[in-house]
Amino acid sequence: MKTWMDGLPQIPFAYRALPEGGEWMTREDAASSLGVGEFHLNALTHSTHRIDMVRTADKKLAVTRVSVEAEKHWRATAPRRRKVLRLLKDTALSF
């Protein structure tokens, strides 16, 4: 059975040092790319670890482009029942 995760690149452990370049984007750019606020983006990064954080060479926090693209893909293709289940799971895990 094919899932939405098939074909997506695997992301190594977060908070790794990356060189400057196109592998990452700022948190503000990621939030605007996903169409959410920074609070929602922080919830995605810290509580559920769906968006991977990285530390750039100049010690700033950023997010990986791959994880943002994977989240955008999931939001576009996931059925409604999966979105509801994800919301319920995230709500339950937030306590």
Which of 4-13, 22-31, 63-72 has the lowest average pLDDT? Answer: 4-13
Q: Taking the model in full, what pTM does it have?
A: 0.69
First to last CA, the chain: 33
Domain that holds residue 53: 20-93
Residue 62 lies in a domain: yes
**Is 60 exceeded by the pLDDT of residue 11?**
no
**Is 90 exceeded by the pLDDT of residue 79?**
yes
CATH number at residue 27: 1.10.1660
Residue 87 lies in a domain: yes
Q: Which of 24, 37, 21 is nearest to 69 (CA)?
A: 24
